[in-house]
Amino acid sequence: MSKITSFTGVLILCFSFFVHAQKKQAPKSDMGKITITNLGKTINTPFRDYAPVISADGLMMVFTSRRPVTEREINKKKPSMENIYVSYYDPKKKKWGEAKRLSESINQQGRHNSAIALSNDGQKMLLYRDDENGNGDIWESHLEGENWSVPNKLPEPINSNKDLESSASISPDGNTIYFVSNRKGSIGGRDIWMCRQDENGKWGSVENLGKDVNSIEDEEGVFIHPDGKTIYFSSKGHNSIGGYDLFKSVFENGKWSIPINLGAPINTAEDELYFVAAANGEVGYYASEKPGGTGERDIYQIKPIDKKKDKVPKLTLFTGIVIDKETSALLESEIEITDNEKNEIISKIKSNSATGKFLISLPSGKNYGINVKKNGYLFYSDNFIIPDTAAYKEIVKTVPLEKIKVGSKIILKNIFYDFDKSTLTPSSKSELERLVKLLSNNPTIKIELSSHTDNKGTDEYNMKLSQARAQSVVDYLISKNISKDRLIAKGYGESQPITTNETDEGRQMNRRTEFTILER
């Protein structure tokens, strides 16, 4: 070979490398300054660790690993089949604890078991299991106290007989599942689909998210944020810079926006998969095979430091525990979340039977009623009116439930009146019906319905208004066949404040309707 031929070959090789490098150049992330950190040896191993899913508060992580399990695998340093592990974040130490393998009820022997979704409260998990044909389906398990239940396979049309369902995510209200499948009707190979559950628990028909989201290539690892309108996913299409890149799309004005590449340094020339984010939008996690990791594929933390208002998730995270008011014993209870404007139950969850903990994600833009109930106790109600423009907020409460007995009292926070009037608004209906049900189920109790005001206006006016408001509630109950002999309406005006009247918040708390048991 001549020197000229050799030199030309070098030029061609250099030019080819330059063009290839240009194609792999990632757009810069629009998330501001970003730090990407390997989660280290408490999570990652020399083997494949991937598919992280987290609770909305970012304190619980479930993920998949191929690390050795049996003595033979450990001795030979041989990867195991896929197994599911859990780790908990310590806010004081600011690090993840040692990962532990979940029980055999979850990690079935002889099969690949992979965590693919976790509900916002961490009480429900979706997992992938392969079948004998090389395809796989989506299964569901619930956290009962400290133990996960034996998984049940989700029905058709979410799972299909001959196709692959490989990843999924659960909407904040728990009624919609977004999932990836290569079934008939896909635009590319694997597409993102969705399926809704009705109030009776029946799954409807599946819907493809459409060509704006799904490309002619594969999509994978879908995640719906706790704000209920932002999805993150990986795709080989949409002009990705590597194999799989991470993208996001927002549901606005009735359709999904054109996906945005999350950019460098999040995306590289390698595969980036299974992105999830905490409700506050400040911390995310994903799996990558980038150089310098602990193993073949590792889990990384992403920390955007961008505090721009338009980047902050618009939702309220309501968390806490449910206890017996007298004994402080931790209680398992049913929790209903209601859209007060529509008088529709949006979601039903349970507080954990072992810890009493609950977590509810409330996307902005609704008037929410919260109802916590347990047999033998008065229900607890709370109300959150969250405007469309409301940014991220966390509310932590201990919810005390009172046993049904003489003297027990609750504030009915979802009873509303027209301004400066005694007329009940339509958004009060759900709370009123709960009251009807409680009285119907306990036919011997006699109650006082009391109404209270703040200190604005004269004493005489406030007393008259509060009496009329209490009577409005009693009249509603009588219209629902509750005997008037069991009901007393009492207005207290401004005479019994529960907090200061010097602030708007205090005055709002003092304007209230209460329910007290007089006889049982």
Separation CA 509–CA 465 (nearest Å): 16
In CATH terms, is domain 405-520 a member of 3.40.50.720?
no
Separation CA 316–CA 435 (nearest Å): 26
Name the CA dihedral angle for 166, 172, 173, 175, rounded to a multiple of 10 degrees.
-10
> pLDDT tens digits, residue range 314-332?
999 999 999 999 999 999 9
Token pair, residue 501, equals 């009247």
**Quick one: average pLDDT of 65-92?**
96
The topology under which CATH files domain 314-403 is Immunoglobulin-like (2.60.40)
Q: Which segments of 44-106 does DSSP mark as H helices, in order?
A: 71-75
What is the chain's Cα-based Rg?
28
Does position 390 have pLDDT exceeding 50, yes or no? yes
**Quick one: average pLDDT of 136-147?**
95
List the CATH code of the domain at 27-311. 2.120.10.30
* Residue 222 near residue 170 (C-beta atoms within 8 A): no
pLDDT band at 20; cut points 50, 70, 90? very low
First to last CA, the chain: 105
Does position 32 have pLDDT exceeding 80, yes or no? no
Q: Do domains 314-403 and 405-520 have the same CATH topology?
A: no
Residue 200 vs residue 89, higher pLDDT: 89
Separation CA 311–CA 29 (nearest Å): 13
CA 79 to chain centre: 33
Question: Tokens 């402080």 label which residue?
Answer: 328
Separation CA 68–CA 102 (nearest Å): 14
> pLDDT tens digits, residue range 95-113?
999 999 999 999 998 899 9
Specify the pTM.
0.89
Name the least confident of 20-29, 138-147, 204-213, 327-336: 20-29
Would you list the domain boundaries of the chain?
27-311, 314-403, 405-520
